[in-house]
Structure 1
Amino acid sequence: MSDVRAGMLLVATPALVDPNFADTVVLLLDVDENGALGVVLNRPSAVPVAEVLAGWSDVVAEPEVLFHGGPVSTEGALAVALLASDDDVPVGFREVSGQLGLVDLDTPVELIDGSLQGLRIFAGYAGWGAAQLDGEIEEGSWYVVPGQAPDVFRLDPTDLWRDVLRRQPGELAWHSTRPVDPDLN
């Protein structure tokens, strides 16, 4: 996984038909020789953060709902945050890539408030064992592209898949206009 690292995005190719990942964009949070872990960025739920983690509802980015992070450990939550400044790193923050990182949800909200530009909470995550993600990339299930912090905190993530592909160089951008069933063309 030498060219796949934390902070990058996995964009599901049309060949990926697993309903857990079809048309998804996954932010990689941790990648090493043992595997990879990430969260799906474009699957908001209807559950308000206030119903599950009341204290965090004042600091999450809009929409103030939980996002489906993936099919693993859906009863748990991960918080992805963007620092407001490199100079003000709060307690409970762990860097993923640049100013983007994870926040420990056991940290008192008062210690976090004001030090973040954005925070999003994900129920569950996506995970791959050693070499599993490499295999899925080789078989054509994922496009691997650079991530941008605003991808995580979009108000409406509906078009994230297309927008991420559209900004890529070369032929990869063409895939953003691909119909659901190309045989109908």
Structure 2
Amino acid sequence: MSDATPQPGMLLVATPQLIDPNFADTVVLLLDVDDDGALGVVLNRPSPVSVSEVLAGWSDVVAEPEVLFQGGPVSPDGALAIGWLSDADDVPVGFREVSGPLGVVDLDTPVELIDGSLSGMRIFAGYAGWGAQQLDGEIEEGSWYVVPGTPTDVFREDPATLWRDVLRRQPGELAWHSTRPVDPELN
């Protein structure tokens, strides 16, 4: 269905066949993809924990909702931040480009060096990771659709419908999957 090659900035959209509770109905932003594997964060799993409870200095910089997102099952006690540059010519210290205006923000950087340079920032607890060839195998077996992402996918105020919305905008038959019922037997 999706012939795109996984690369940083692309999205992995879980197919109905993916029933692992860590990834069912998720949308994952790929941050790194190379011969050693891939790394990304789940975009549509906000947690009830506010950023101010865990990383108080960053609470004024993050986009609404000001909560930590569950980025994936790997290192859930660690935090990883994604930022959206306001101006491509004003790249702050502590920002590493992923794709276009999106990048990883080093949370050890003083907030004042980042604040004002970003249109949005989101903090994720944990991440999703795949070993060498593991992601390719999961794509080949039909667990993921690989599609282009946009910065607005990362910074939606309400990510509840992100899975459907990302599929809906895809060309051809892939868009049809956005209307599948949760339980196809009820159809």
The alignment's TM-score, normalised by the length of structure 1, stands at 0.98
Q: Which residue of 1 aligns with 2:9?
A: 7
Counterpart residue type for residue 151 of structure 1: D
> Of 86, 94, 97, which residue of structure 1 is paired with 2:96?
94
Out of 164, 172, 175, the residue aligned to residue 162 of structure 1 is 164
Q: Which structure 2 residues correspond to residues 25-36 of structure 1 after superposition, within 5 A?
A: 25-36=27-38
Runs of 4 or more, structure 1, over 4 Å off, are: none
RMSD: 1.1
CA-to-aligned-CA distance 1:114-142 (integer Å, 9 cap, x gap): 00000000000000000000000000000
Partner-residue secondary structure (3-state), 1:163 = helix
Match of 2:175 among 164, 173, 176: 173
Q: TM-score, normalised by structure 2?
A: 0.97
How many Å separate the matches in 2 of 1:179 and 1:61?
A: 31
SS of aligned partner of 1:76: strand
Q: Which amino acid aligns with 2:92?
A: P
Aligned pairs for 1:2-151 (under 5 A) are 3-151=5-153
User: How big is each residue's C-alpha offset from its partner over 1:13-36, in whole Å with a ceiling of 9 and x where there is no partner?
Assistant: 000000000000000000000000
Percentage identity across aligned positions? 82
Q: Deviations over 1:24-66 (max 9, x none)?
A: 0000000000000000000000000000000000000000000
Partner amino acid, structure 2, of 1:41? L
How many angstroms apart in 2 are the aligned matches of 1:62 and 1:37? 24
The offset of 1:183, in angstroms, is 2.2
List alignment gaps of at least 5 residues for structure 2. none
The CA distance in 2 between the partners of 1:117 and 1:98, in whole Å, is 13
SS of residue matched to 1:151: helix
- SS of the equivalent of 2:119 reads strand
Separation of aligned partners in 2, 1:17 and 1:111:
41
Alignment coverage as a number of residue pairs: 185
Note the residue ranges of structure 1 that are not aligned, 5 or more in a row.
none
1:182 Cα deviation after fit = 1.4
* SS at structure 2 position matched to 1:140: coil
1:73 and 1:44 mapped to 2: Cα distance? 16
